[in-house]
């Protein structure tokens, strides 16, 4: 059996390895740990969405609503729990989205508008880019109206309105969001909103436009957004 003589170098080497190892791990985790602190995460985003249920309404007048519309949203979330390589954030989403149509009421085409306020959570992870699974439950307010005139001298006639409790699930990517040098940057998200507003009908308006039963207006609403986020 061959015996290796360590001489005087072995124990100093072990001591040096023990002392350096935690520092090496710490440096490797710096890019992740800087975002898993008390820093909040904020975003502003715009995008497009698809709402098959809106396009499928059978209104009394000729025409239909566009399935694809535009949207804008703001969101703010703060860390509530840290894990080994991820974090849980809680906050709120506020957004607006709208779909135009070729259904004329008096002088202009109708527009379907929605606003929502949704408390939500994000479970984020990732070393280079930060990925999150998103979910929320909150209040959605929907209306259908004619908006006439030119800003600032414009006016509107609301044909129908209803509010309902709804929810969404989705995912987000913060490009470069795991690196301390990129505390601000681009983000992209995909969400599916689920909400049921009930039956769409004219609410005492003349001439008949939506009809007495244009159908049930509900989700899913598929939403794609790009935007700017910061921490």
Chunk the chain into consecutive blocks of 10 residues (it has 231) and report each block's average pLDDT, rounded to whole numbers.
Answer: 42 40 39 58 96 93 94 96 90 97 89 97 91 97 88 82 97 84 87 96 79 92 96 85
Token code pair at residue 13: 């080497």
- Residue 33's pLDDT is 52
- Residue 148's pLDDT is 84
- Residue 127's pLDDT is 84
- Residue 181's pLDDT is 64
- Number of neighbours of residue 185 by Cβ within 10 angstroms: 17
Across-strand partners of 200?
none
Whether 225 and 186 have beta carbons less than 8 Å apart is answered as no
- Residue 17's pLDDT is 40
Domains by residue range for the chain, with CATH? 10-230 (2.40.160.20)
Rounded CA-CA distance 42/154 in Å is 33
Give the Å distances, CA to CA, from 123 to 22, 41, 90. Answer: 27, 12, 9
Peptide bond into 65 cis (omega under 30): no
Non-local CB neighbours of 64 within 8 Å, separated by 6+ positions:
55, 57, 101, 102, 103
């Amino acid at each position: 059996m061959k015996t290796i003589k360590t001489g005087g170098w072995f124990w100093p080497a072990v001591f040096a390895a023990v002392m350096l190892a935690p520092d090496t791990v710490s440096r490797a985790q710096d890019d992740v740990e800087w975002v898993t602190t008390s820093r909040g995460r904020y975003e502003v985003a715009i995008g497009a969405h698809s709402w098959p249920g809106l396009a499928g309404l059978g209104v009394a007048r000729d025409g239909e609503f566009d399935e694809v519309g535009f949207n804008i949203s703001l969101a703010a979330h703060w860390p509530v729990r840290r894990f080994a390589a991820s974090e849980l954030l809680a906050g709120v989403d506020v957004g607006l989205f709208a779909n135009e149509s070729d259904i004329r009421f008096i002088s202009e085409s109708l527009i379907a508008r929605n606003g929502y306020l949704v408390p939500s959570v994000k479970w984020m992870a990732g070393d280079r880019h930060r990925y999150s699974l998103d979910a929320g439950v909150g209040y959605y307010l929907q209306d259908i109206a004619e908006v006439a005139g030119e800003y600032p001298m414009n006016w509107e006639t609301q044909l129908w309105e209803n509010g309902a409790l709804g929810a969404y699930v989705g995912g987000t990517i913060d490009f470069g969001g795991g690196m301390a040098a990129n505390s601000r940057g681009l983000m992209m998200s995909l969400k599916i909103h689920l909400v049921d507003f009930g039956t769409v009908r004219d609410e005492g308006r003349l001439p008949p436009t939506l009809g007495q039963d244009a159908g049930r207006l509900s989700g899913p609403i598929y939403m794609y957004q790009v935007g700017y986020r910061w921490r």
